[in-house]
Amino acid sequence: MAKLFDTHAHYTDERLMGNESLLTALFSQDISHILTVATDVEDGERCHMLADTHEGIYASAGIHPHECGEAGGLDDAMSAVERQLTRRKTVALGEIGLDYHYDFSDRETQMRFFRAQMELAEKTGKPVIIHDREAHGDTMDMIRAFKGRVHGVLHSCSASAEQVREYVKMGWYISFSGVITFKNAAKTLDAVLATPPERLLVETDCPYLAPVPMRGKTNHSGYLHFTAARAAALLQMDYDALCEQEVKNAKTLFGI
């Protein structure tokens, strides 16, 4: 069975945390690696613990736009994230970015944390994981400002095909979630078609965004093949070839 790298998951979420039999099943089936993504400093510790105790699991460290407002002083938060990024299996800085859909943190604070974490990415050389919800313009401006100095992945991509082409030109990877299996996903399907296979990643963003036909359930990496199959069909690629390319892409990006 062709294996996949789930490039964006939240196994520290209470719906998934501690489910050892699930993790064992995933790695014995079609999952080779999982990147469990942090949302704040405390979560980065939990992600590190998971990575430390499971061979196929890797971690990130960073402050999610939702959590910036509660993250305390910027300088202290950045030193904590920087410390976490020195760990062997903490392979990316994220997730960071902007969320203008929920606006849980005010936009100025989101922007301050986003910029500081891009600077930290440049300093540490780590790839970043970008969260961009209804903030395509400001996100793109930030990425352009660090062009050639910071790269990474646009997670659960909801950008346009045109924006995707610009990200790709700047050396970025594009990751698609279960959204591409949804009925109302026309714009995102165009974005898949604009992504060269050697820059394409897939993710669950579990426990969120379960793909069709599991939509509405608690998502996990065992459902990632539905999303990968949709991407393969859109790109007219053989399923196994897409999986092989995807794992290779993720390992290149995260330096594994």
| Count of positions on this chain that bind Zn ion (CB under 5 A) | 1
Q: Is 124 left (phi over 0), alpha (psi -120 to 50) or beta?
A: alpha
The residue among 97 and 232 lying less far from Zn ion, judged by its C-beta, is: 97
Which C-beta is closer to Zn ion: that of 205 or that of 246?
205
| Cβ distance to Zn ion smaller for residue 205 or 232 | 205
Least Å from the CB of residue 209 to Zn ion: 9
The distance of closest approach from Cβ of residue 28 to Zn ion in the complex, given in angstroms and rounded to an integer, is 25
What are the helix (H) ranges across 29-145?
Answer: 41-53, 74-84, 107-124, 136-145
Please give the residues from 188 up to 227 whose contact with Zn ion meets the rule CB under 5 A.
205
- In angstroms, give the least distance from the CB of 6 to Zn ion: 11
Picking from 174, 186, 184, the residue whose alpha carbon sits closest to that of residue 130 is 174
Q: Which is nearer to Zn ion, 27 or 208 (CB)?
A: 208
Q: Which of 146, 208 has the CB closer to Zn ion?
A: 208
Q: Minimum distance from CB of 38 to Zn ion (Å)?
A: 9
The nearer residue to Zn ion, 81 or 232, going by C-beta atoms, is 81
For the chain, strand residue ranges (E) read 4-9, 31-36, 57-61, 90-99, 128-133, 152-154, 173-176, 200-202
Find the binding residues for Zn ion in span 169-188 (CB under 5 A): none
Distance of closest approach, residue 10 Cβ to Zn ion, in angstroms: 6
Q: Which of 106, 94, 5 is nearest to 44 (CA)?
A: 94
Residue 26: name the closest of 223, 218, 228 by CA.
223
Least distance between Zn ion and beta carbon 64 (Å): 7
- Given a contact cutoff of 8 angstroms between Cβ atoms, the answer to whether 60 and 90 are in contact is yes
Of 159 and 232, CB closest to Zn ion? 159
Backbone φ and ψ for 124, nearest 5 degrees, come out as -90, -15
Six-digit token pair at 142?
């930030």
Position closest to Zn ion via CB: 205
Handedness of CA 66, 72, 75, 78 (dihedral sign): negative
Report d(CA 39, CA 64) in Å as an integer: 5
**Shortest reach from residue 95's CB to Zn ion, in Å:** 5
For residues 59 to 98, the per-residue mask of contacts with Zn ion, x marking binding by CB under 5 A and - elsewhere, is ----------------------------------------
Contact 100/33 with Cβ under 8 angstroms? Answer: no
Contacts to Zn ion by CB under 5 A: 205
